[in-house]
């Protein structure tokens, strides 16, 4: 039979594992935002610099697709981060005897769809998406 302090160590260790996973998801999301701004800004700048070329309109289509892909990828990591936060809360409320080091996170109602329409995404990717769509419509 394990002592009470050994259970405490197990619970703390399990919570640390979950915390590190949450940190990875948050840093992945941050990196995606940085790459998306760089890539989308570069594509739009390349379009502006080469507007007279026949292939420049295709850059806006690529930018549109890239914006949607970055948005989906970022929402995926936000959803995972939320699931692991829920797992953290669940493990934190468990008794030490029930700690099994499981990383099976519970699903969140609405999950990915709710993550897609978060204000942080609507104000970043949504604005870029609207700008690209307006450019596609008016500059054809």
Q: Measuring CA to CA, how many Å separate 30 from each of 19, 36, 37, 113?
A: 16, 10, 11, 19
Listed in sequence order, the residues at least 6 apart from 101 whose beta carbon sits closer than 8 Å to its beta carbon are: 10, 13, 14, 17
What pTM was computed for the model?
0.85
Q: What is the pLDDT of residues 40-91, one digit of tens each?
A: 999 999 999 999 898 999 999 999 999 999 999 999 999 999 999 998 988 8
Q: What is the pLDDT of residues 19-40, one digit of tens each?
A: 999 999 999 999 999 999 999 9
What local confidence, expressed as pLDDT, does residue 1 receive?
47
Q: Measuring CA to CA, how many Å separate 112 from each of 22, 83, 100?
A: 16, 10, 27
Look at residue 108 and tell me whether its pLDDT is greater than 90. no
The token pair that represents 65 in the structure block: 């697709």
Q: Report the distance separating Cα 62 and Cα 66, nearest Å.
A: 6
Residue with tokens 């008016």: 138
Between residues 99 and 2, the one the model is more confident about = 99
What local confidence, expressed as pLDDT, does residue 47 receive?
93
């Amino acid at each position: 039979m394990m002592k009470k302090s050994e259970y405490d160590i197990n619970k703390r260790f399990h919570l640390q594992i979950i915390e590190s996973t949450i940190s990875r998801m948050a840093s992945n999301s941050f990196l995606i935002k940085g790459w998306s701004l760089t890539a989308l800004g570069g594509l739009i700048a390349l379009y502006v610099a080469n507007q007279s070329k026949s292939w420049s309109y295709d850059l806006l289509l690529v930018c549109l697709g890239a914006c949607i892909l970055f948005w989906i990828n970022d929402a995926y990591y936000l959803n995972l981060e939320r699931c692991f936060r829920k797992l953290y809360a669940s493990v934190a409320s468990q008794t030490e005897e029930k700690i099994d080091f499981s990383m099976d996170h519970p699903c969140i109602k609405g999950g990915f769809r709710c993550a897609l329409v978060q204000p942080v995404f609507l104000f970043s990717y949504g604005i870029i998406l609207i700008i690209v769509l307006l450019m596609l419509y008016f500059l054809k």
